[in-house]
Amino acid sequence: MSDHHPPLRSYGRLKTRTIKPRQAALVESLLPGLRPPAGPFDPRALMPEAAEIWLEIGFGGGEHMAAQAGLHPDALIIGAEPFQNGVASALRHIDEAQLTNVRVLDGDARELMANLPDASLARIYVLFPDPWPKARHNKRRLVNAELLVELARVLKPGGGLRFATDWADYADWTLERVLRDPAFSWPATRACDWRVPPADHITTRYEEKRLGDCAPVFLDFVRQ
């Protein structure tokens, strides 16, 4: 197999508005020291004292990632987000809370995961990804069989994958695909297991806008 792959395609806008001066300054000063290495790397080397390594795919404005990092200083949280305004917002949260256990890739999480060792992550978050609700755009959705293979590879046995959406069709879409993959199980037994936010969930301003067509759905899967 060739080592040369075509660049991954990210759908949607990568920037919408001018980044505020303070955040732009953080992109210049703070971001370079937070970026993971460009090639294959062991995430434990980024924070040797970390008890666990977590990944947030598409962290939006970084509220959830920064809050979880503040609550769990013994975990290293790596976030990936191609949207430049979101990265700038996340850097502000990291700077204000003086967090030292966060690393940020201003790019595609799939490229990051390709550089991670097998079974290196204890937890992965995919929270409110772009739903691409029109049927002809469904193929653009982040969750697909190829992504699930990679998530299963980098997650430790017993590791957690949390998916959240406020689009009913995307919840069904994801549940169908994850349950088709023998690497994952879904331990939910009653409706409140997916209708009630998990006890450790951090609600963000984006989530509160309720831009979807249903109340938020939380799907917590376990790596077999």
Residues annotated as catalytic (active site), given as ranges = 130
State the greatest distance between any 2 C-alpha atoms of the chain, in Å, as a whole number.
Answer: 48
Q: Is 5 exposed, middle or buried (0-12, 13-18, 19+ CB in 10 A)?
A: exposed
Please, which residues bridge with residue 219 across strands?
163
8 A C-beta contact, residue 219 and residue 174: yes
3 state SS for 42-55? CHHHHCCCCCEEEE
DSSP state of 166: S
Query: What backbone phi and psi angles, to 5 degrees, belong to 71?
Result: -80, -20
